[in-house]
Every structure is written in C-alpha cells, then in structure tokens.
C-alpha cells in the first residue's frame, strides 16, 4: 500500500477510530493520541495490508488494544484530588465492605478458567456482541451464549461460596 492510498484510507477511518477510542477512554485528547499511535502501527504494517477492508479491521483491533493498554496503565494511578477522607464510622465501614466485596470479585474472576475470563471480558468489558465473539472463536453464536452463561454461573457460584 502506497502513501496516497494509505492517506485516503486513513482519512476514511479516522472518525471511526476516534469514536472507538472515545468509547474506551472518554477523553478526546487521549483518543487523538490512540488514533495517532494506531496510524503509526498501521503504517509500519502497510505492506501486509491489502485493501481498505483489511485496514479497517486491523485499525479496529489496534485501537482497541492501545485503548485497553491505556486504561490498564491508568488504573494503577490515583489522583489525590479525587480521594475522599473517611469522616465517620459508617462511611469507613461501608468503604471497607466495598473493598472486601471488590476483592472477593477479583478473587472469583481470577479463579475462573482462562477461557471463561476471556469470554466475560469480551462480553462485559469490551462490549462485543455474541456474533462478534463467535466469529473470533470460530464457533456458533448459540454456543457462545451457552459458554458465557456457564462462565457467569461459575462466577456467581464462586462469589456465593466466598460469602459464606
């Protein structure tokens, strides 16, 4: 793919890529950074990109991965201005309870199989449709629904066991 064709395709994709990044990040500035980084990666892979459809699919994957990496990296930093002080015992008790519930959920998710975790992540975090997941896994939509149902049931079961 030559420069002119790449530039034309990039102009067609820019808005879609920006919207996709906004979905994950919620910030226009961060989304612009993601789109710019995605175009750099696409440019480096331009020899493997045959046509517009392949570029669109690859762009979507690259934007998703870069956005999720930014979300993951951002998750480990806390803005001190957004922290609240515990003012009374009921708030402290509620915060402790929420922290314990969050930890139990994380433990339950960790105890799922890799496939179950991936299915839960694709459906609930990445908001992929059953059809998109089925296409990615090379299986039917109904089997994806069944697998996600089983993964959710396992998660609920593990949460209930950790409560007792």
Please report the pLDDT score of residue 25 as a whole number. Answer: 84
CATH number at residue 115: 1.10.10.10
Other Cβ atoms closer than 10 A to 151: 22
Domain limit, last residue, from 56, 75, 94: 75
Domain extent, residue 59, equals 3-75
**Considering Cα of 42, then 46, then 52, then 57, what sign does the dihedral take?**
negative
Indicate whether 55 belongs to any domain: yes
- The answer to whether the CB of 120 falls within 8 A of the CB of 151 is yes
What is the separation of C-alpha 160 from the centre of its chain, rounded to a whole number of angstroms?
A: 26
Average pLDDT estimate for 2-22: 89
Q: Which of 24, 22, 18, 127 is nearest to 71 (CA)?
A: 24
Residues 60 and 114 in one domain: no
Q: Is the pLDDT of residue 63 over 90?
A: yes
**CA distance linking residue 160 with residue 164, whole number of Å:** 7
Percent of the chain exceeding pLDDT 70 equals 88
Same domain, 58 and 117: no
Domain presence at residue 85: no
83 domain residue, yes or no? no
> What is d(CA 160, CA 104) in angstroms, rounded to the nearest whole number?
10
pLDDT digits (tens, 9 = 90+) for 72-121: 877 655 454 455 544 555 677 888 888 888 888 888 888 888 889 888 88
Tokens (6 digits) for 57: 């699919």
pLDDT value of residue 76? 55
Considering its fold, how many domains does the chain have in total?
2
């Amino acid at each position: 793919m030559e420069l002119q064709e790449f530039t034309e395709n990039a102009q067609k994709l820019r808005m879609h890529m920006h919207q996709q990044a906004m979905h994950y990040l919620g910030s226009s500035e961060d989304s612009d950074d993601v789109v710019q980084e995605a175009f750099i990666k696409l440019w480096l892979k331009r020899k493997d990109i045959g046509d517009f459809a392949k570029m669109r699919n690859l762009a979507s994957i690259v934007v998703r991965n870069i956005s999720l990496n930014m979300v993951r990296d951002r998750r480990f930093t806390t803005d001190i201005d957004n922290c609240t002080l515990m003012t009374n015992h009921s708030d402290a008790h509620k915060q402790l309870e929420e922290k314990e519930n969050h930890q139990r959920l994380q433990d339950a998710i960790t105890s799922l199989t890799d496939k179950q975790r991936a299915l839960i992540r694709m459906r609930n975090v990445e908001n992929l449709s059953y059809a998109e997941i089925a296409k990615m896994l090379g299986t039917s939509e109904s089997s994806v629904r069944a697998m996600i149902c089983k993964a959710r049931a396992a998660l609920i079961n593990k949460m209930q066991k950790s409560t007792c």
